[in-house]
Structures are given as structure tokens and as C-alpha cells.
Amino acid sequence: METAIDEAKLYGGKKESTIDERIKKYHKEGGGAEAGSGTAWCSSFVCWCIEQKGYKSPHSAGSRFFLTSKNSEKCEVFYGAVAIFSDCDSSGKNIQDSGHATFVFGHLSGDLYAVLGGNQGDMLKVSQYDCSGSAFYSYTTKKGTKIYKIFRGFYKPKGYIIKEIDKLTDKNQYASADDANKIVLKTEVVSSKNGESSR
């Protein structure tokens, strides 16, 4: 999380087109891809952050690889856990290969979490995501297609020991993702739920 927060302090809240060179670095070093902001970069960002701390990651621009990688394992929720989502239809039954990877930053209420990641509303920022396991509306494509997501689980690098300090406590409780962004980014980033935003 330290690496993700450091990156957010430098590049958070900025439209992806303005930080394209940094996104290319995430893709190349974390996702093993030669790409820029035109390619979904959430997983490349997560993998890059994990690898900066000396751990192995799925090393892929595809979030779905967290589900099967020998370098990641399912775990309980904790501060810094990787939350994985898959795109799906509104029923949650038609699971797609595409999805989302992001870090747990804090808790909001019930199964809603504040998550810090890239490609959230085309930015690096904190957003609200539903981790209940029910399908939820995420965004609408330029062609008018509604995209839904479904939570697949919390993951960590294989061998990472969850410490007492990693557990979510009252200090990780936020009223909204906007409040969490004020703390991380020291600026106002207006967020709606599930990754969409405007600034």
C-alpha cells in the first residue's frame, strides 16, 4: 500500500491522458505489456506496486490472472488486500474475461469498501466498490452498453503474512470514497460508486 499511496500522491486525481508515460511504465514493468492509457491499466498498476516491494505478482494487465496465478492466493479482507472483480451481465451469471483489480484502502459500510487503484474513472484514486458478491452496475461504454461487475475475492501475494497492523480498524473507516480521497490525494476528487468519477 505504501507504493500505491506514494503513486497516488504524485499522479492521483489526474486524467489518465495526462499521465500516459507513467501508465506505460506500469504496463511494461507490472503487466508485461507495451501499452499506454488506451489499454486498461488497473491490473498492471497493482502488479507493479506488488513487485516494487519484492513480491511476485501475476505480472499481467489482465485482472483475471489473480484468480489462477501461482503467485497470488485468496485471503480475508485487510488493508492492502487486492480486490478482484469480473465484468458480467446484470444477473452476475455471464462472467467475462475482463474485470478490475484494486487495493483495499478502507471500509465504508456493510460490504462497501474504499479501494485505491488505477483506471477508476480514468484516474488513480479511491473509489467505492461493492464486495458483496452481487452484480452491480459499473459504467456505460461509448456505444451505450451497460457494464456490470461482480466481486470475485480478496487476494494477496503468495507467502505474504497478514499482520495485526494490516487488519482494518476504526482508523480505516470512511464516510465516503470522497473523504478517503481527501486523505490520500489531499484534493477534492468527486467520486460516484464503483469507479466512475468526475473532477
Q: How far apart are CA 174 and CA 13, in angstroms?
A: 18
The pLDDT, as a whole number, for residue 186 is: 79
pLDDT band per the 50, 70, 90 thresholds, residue 194: low
Split into its structural domains, the chain has a count of 1
Encoded amino acid at 8, one letter? A
| Enclosing domain of residue 143 | 2-198
Asked if residues 191 and 109 have their Cβ atoms less than 8 Å apart, the reply is: no
pTM summary value: 0.93
Q: How far apart are CA 30 and CA 82, in angstroms?
A: 15
pLDDT, tens only, 90-109? 999 899 999 999 999 999 99
pLDDT, tens only, 118-161? 999 999 999 999 999 999 999 888 899 899 999 999 999 999 99
Contacts of residue 63, defined as CB under 8 A and 6 or more positions apart, other chains included, come to 42, 43, 46, 84, 85, 86, 98, 99, 100, 101
- What angle is formed at CA 47 by the lines to CA 41 and CA 50, rounded to 5 degrees? 140
Q: How far apart are CA 67 and CA 35, in angstroms?
A: 23
pLDDT, tens only, 162-189? 999 999 999 999 999 999 999 888 766 6
